[in-house]
């Protein structure tokens, strides 16, 4: 076992998959000699060489298009987009090409690539560096979307994503890259894509979250004296609705927490799923604690925008009051 941060767990997962499978290669802006903006690929250029850790120009559409071609040619590329706000130029390649090749060719061509993207706020970054666009991509059939909240899950989910025969977006919550450490097996292991994790069990209320906000939920639960079950989705698409429904049918209440704006956020889809599967067991309306329907503010107001333990605690109290 190794005591690792989330970003260190990602680095270890990349190293082990590159050693195991020579088809795996990395490409992105400053990922080689500089080791990436967040140093997730530090040392990999020296270890595997410039043919497998490739620095590319500042052109996200080119990064995505090149990765698609490499994947169709039998390799397993891992492109990196430096920040989630820069995904726009790659949107067409990702949603109209990568996501569709398996369907377009009736299974004849797959596109096994893993797109790594640092995501979310909390690091006092400028505009286009702190957004949470996951719901945009969950609306695209053909893509799998993953967002871990812990070092252990980060490594296991990353390895599963790299080995998946179809495109996976691996969102990395940058606010918790180095926020804490966790024991992570040094041997390779996988975590199935599409399976949520029950962080803690309870019988009065179900809380659902993913990414960095899982930590805020844990803080709110610690401050509460209620019996709360916390579910970390881990995979955003496909959603593990079975795990959510089983919990809500037990507790009768549900609070969903995420960083993204509230309107048309993934919390709305989860709330609809809860209504479909748990309606007769609900004791209260589903509550959502989210970012606001505004552009992510600059750093002076950033923490006011992001869900915190206080806002989550208020939602817990209001839901239990029914």
Please tell me the distance from the alpha carbon of residue 28 to that of residue 195, in angstroms, as a whole number.
29
Active site residues: 60, 129
Q: Where are the alpha helices (DSSP H) in 39-141?
A: 44-48, 60-72, 91-92, 101-104, 134-138
Query: Distance of alpha carbon 74 from its chain centroid, rounded?
Result: 26
With left for phi above 0 and alpha for psi between -120 and 50, is residue 228 left, alpha or beta? beta
The tokens 């923490």 sit on which residue? 303
Local structure of 256: helix, strand or coil: strand
Query: What is d(CA 231, CA 258) in angstroms, rounded to the nearest whole number?
Result: 12
CA distance 234 to 86: 23
Q: What CA–CA distance (Å, rounded) separates 301 from 304?
A: 5
Structure tokens belonging to residue 320: 């239990």
Query: What's the token pair of residue 91?
Result: 């949107």
How many Å apart are CA 229 and CA 227, to the nearest integer?
Answer: 7
């Amino acid at each position: 076992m190794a005591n690792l941060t989330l970003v260190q767990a990602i680095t270890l997962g990349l190293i082990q998959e590159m050693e195991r499978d020579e088809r795996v290669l990395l490409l992105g802006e400053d990922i080689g000699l500089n080791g990436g903006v967040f140093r997730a690929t530090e040392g990999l250029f020296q270890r595997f060489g410039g043919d497998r850790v490739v620095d590319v120009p500042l052109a996200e559409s080119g990064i995505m298009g090149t990765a698609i071609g490499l994947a169709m040619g039998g390799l397993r590329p891992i492109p990196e987009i430096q920040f989630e706000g820069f995904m726009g130029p790659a949107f067409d390649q990702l949603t109209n090409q990568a996501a569709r090749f398996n369907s377009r060719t009736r299974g004849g061509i797959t596109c096994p690539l893993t797109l790594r993207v640092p995501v979310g706020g909390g690091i006092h970054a400028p505009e286009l560096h702190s957004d949470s666009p996951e719901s945009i991509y969950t609306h695209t059939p053909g893509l799998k979307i993953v967002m871990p909240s812990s070092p252990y899950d980060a490594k296991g989910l990353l390895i599963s994503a790299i080995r998946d025969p179809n495109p996976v977006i691996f969102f990395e919550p940058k606010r918790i890259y180095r926020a804490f450490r966790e024991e992570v097996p040094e041997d390779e292991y996988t975590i199935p894509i599409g399976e949520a994790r029950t962080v803690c069990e309870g019988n009065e209320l179900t809380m659902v979250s993913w990414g960095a906000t899982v930590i805020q939920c844990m803080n709110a639960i610690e401050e509460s004296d209620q019996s709360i079950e916390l579910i970390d989705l881990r995979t955003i698409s496909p959603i593990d609705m079975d795990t959510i429904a089983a919990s809500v049918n037990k507790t009768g209440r549900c609070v969903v927490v995420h960083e993204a704006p509230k309107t048309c956020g993934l919390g709305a889809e989860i709330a609809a799923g809860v209504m479909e599967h748990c309606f007769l067991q609900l004791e209260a309306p589903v509550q959502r604690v989210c970012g606001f329907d505004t552009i992510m503010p600059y750093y002076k107001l950033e923490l006011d925008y992001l869900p915190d333990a206080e806002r989550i605690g208020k939602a817990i109290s209001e839901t239990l009051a029914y």
